[in-house]
């Protein structure tokens, strides 16, 4: 860990100047308490750096939570072993998963399936309790539950160091969560203009605790966070059904972990009750289970938090980009992606070039930087990878 200023601590050994400048700008906001914690996977984001932990007194910056509210990971350890899986056709499993779960931006379910019905009912009740109608943001939000999206979202079947099979996936609150986030970022910016508040970046516009706008944001954010959590559970159930079909017996869950990395919570740190916005970071209290994925084709990690108070009990959420998507497409080729994915079942397409492992920070370096934040419990190696275009 490096103390860059009194209000900015960094665990990132690999970081560019633009990202550092962005983090310094956010750390200078007057309500940061006690400091911003920059995670090892930090890279440029909208307004605030992805891979940062931002504690605020009496205010929240909606863009510092992230536009994919509640985005995160879920992993399930099964009873199966690598040897058992080696006897099966993984390409058939990948194709079945791709049919069971809508992939890519703008792709949703055609109907509400039986496993989604109780989850949708739960979300309907929560929305009523929060006093808002999600249809204001997306009329088809019910059909979005159980869909993956695109970008760095993924579904994987992996094995750990004991050759035990895990199901692992990454997704968030989809289009409905994005629209909720964008709406409240715009509200914060409108308020800044109305009250002549000068900001170093328009995306650092904030909502003040106690105002109607803040209260509405928290209510809708909580709903979106829960949507994201249930979305991952719905997809995991579908992956389990496909794996069960392949193996000829039901999946027995030995362990399940589901954690956000784009969210905010009210927590007490350094003597103050603050809003901790983790934008690309997970909670890592002492003993808390967490998930830190690598990039496409590399290792992912099941971890246990070490409760480091300087990090506000947080840790990185993944590898973190080194190349933008457009830069990665200019720099790398489909043949290089094929070489990186050797031995892993995946859909061979040029659409995934911007997700090549070389476009990300080395996950092993990220984990080394995080040695005082989390303890590694399991290292997972991919056997199968599913992504959206």
Mean pLDDT of the chain: 96
pLDDT tens-digit map of 298-348: 999 999 999 999 999 999 999 999 999 999 999 999 999 999 999 999 999
Query: Residues near 50 by Cβ (< 8 Å), separated by ≥ 6?
Result: 41, 42, 43, 44, 66, 279, 280, 320, 321
In whole angstroms, give the CA distance from residue 253 to residue 302. 16
- Structure-token pair, residue 171: 């997704």
Q: Which one of 35, 153, 226, 317 is the catalytic residue? A: 317
| Kind of pairing between the strands at 36-43 and 8-10 | parallel
CATH code where residue 273 lies: 3.90.1860.10
Contact 171, 153 (CB under 8 A): yes
In whole angstroms, give the CA distance from residue 387 to residue 389. 7
User: Which residues, listed in sequence order, are joined to residue 171 by a DSSP beta bridge?
Assistant: 72
Catalytic, 317? Answer: yes
Return the pLDDT at 104. 86
User: Which residues, listed in sequence order, are joined to residue 50 by a DSSP beta bridge?
Assistant: 43
**3-class SS at 192?**
helix
**3-class SS at 269?**
strand
How many domains are there within the chain? 1
Return the pLDDT at 105. 85
In whole angstroms, give the CA distance from residue 241 to residue 106. 24
- How far CA 183 is from CA of 61, 221, 244, in Å, comes to 13, 11, 41
Return the pLDDT at 100. 96
What range defines the domain where residue 285 resides? 2-387
pLDDT tens-digit map of 143-200: 999 999 998 999 999 999 999 999 999 999 999 999 999 999 999 999 999 999 999 9
Contact 75, 168 (CB under 8 A): yes
Question: Nearest CA to 169 among 45, 293, 274, 290?
Answer: 293
pLDDT bin (cut points 50, 70, 90) of residue 362 is: very high
pLDDT tens-digit map of 17-29: 999 999 999 999 9
């Amino acid at each position: 860990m490096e103390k860059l200023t009194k209000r900015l601590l960094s665990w990132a050994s690999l970081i560019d100047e633009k990202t550092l400048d962005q983090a310094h700008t956010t750390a200078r906001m007057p309500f940061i308490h006690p400091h911003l914690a920059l995670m090892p996977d930090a890279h440029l984001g909208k307004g605030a750096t992805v891979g940062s932990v931002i504690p605020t007194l009496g205010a929240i910056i909606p863009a510092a939570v992230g536009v994919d509210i509640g985005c995160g990971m879920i992993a399930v350890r099964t009873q199966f072993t690598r040897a058992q899986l080696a006897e099966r056709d993984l390409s058939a499993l990948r194709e079945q998963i791709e049919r069971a779960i809508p992939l890519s931006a703008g792709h949703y379910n055609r109907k509400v399936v039986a496993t989604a019905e109780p989850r949708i009912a739960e979300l309907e009740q929560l929305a009523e309790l929060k006093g808002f109608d999600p249809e204001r943001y997306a009329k088809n939000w019910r059909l979005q539950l159980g869909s993956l999206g695109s970008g760095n979202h993924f579904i994987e079947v992996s094995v750990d160091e004991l050759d035990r099979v895990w199901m692992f996936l990454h997704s968030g609150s989809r289009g409905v969560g994005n629209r909720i986030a964008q709406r409240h970022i715009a509200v914060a910016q409108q308020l800044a203009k109305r009250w002549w508040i000068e900001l170093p970046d328009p995306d650092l516009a904030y909502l003040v605790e106690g105002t109607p706008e803040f209260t509405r944001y928290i209510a809708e954010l909580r709903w979106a966070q829960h949507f994201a959590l249930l979305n991952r559970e719905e997809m995991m159930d579908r992956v389990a059904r496909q794996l069960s079909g392949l193996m000829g017996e039901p999946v027995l869950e030995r362990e399940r972990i589901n954690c956000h990395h784009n969210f905010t919570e009210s927590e007490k740190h350094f003597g103050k009750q603050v809003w901790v916005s983790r934008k690309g970071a997970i909670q890592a209290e002492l003993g808390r289970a967490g998930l830190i994925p690598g990039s496409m084709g590399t290792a992912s990690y099941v971890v246990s938090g070490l409760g480091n108070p300087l990090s506000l009990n947080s840790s990185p959420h993944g590898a973190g980009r080194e190349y933008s998507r457009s830069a990665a497409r200019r720099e790398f080729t489909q043949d290089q992606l094929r070489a990186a994915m050797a031995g892993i079942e995946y859909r061979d397409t040029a659409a995934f070039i911007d997700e090549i492992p070389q476009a990300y920070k080395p996950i092993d370096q990220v984990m080394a930087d995080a040695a005082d934040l989390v303890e590694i419990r399991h290292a997972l190696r991919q056997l199968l990878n599913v992504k959206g275009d």
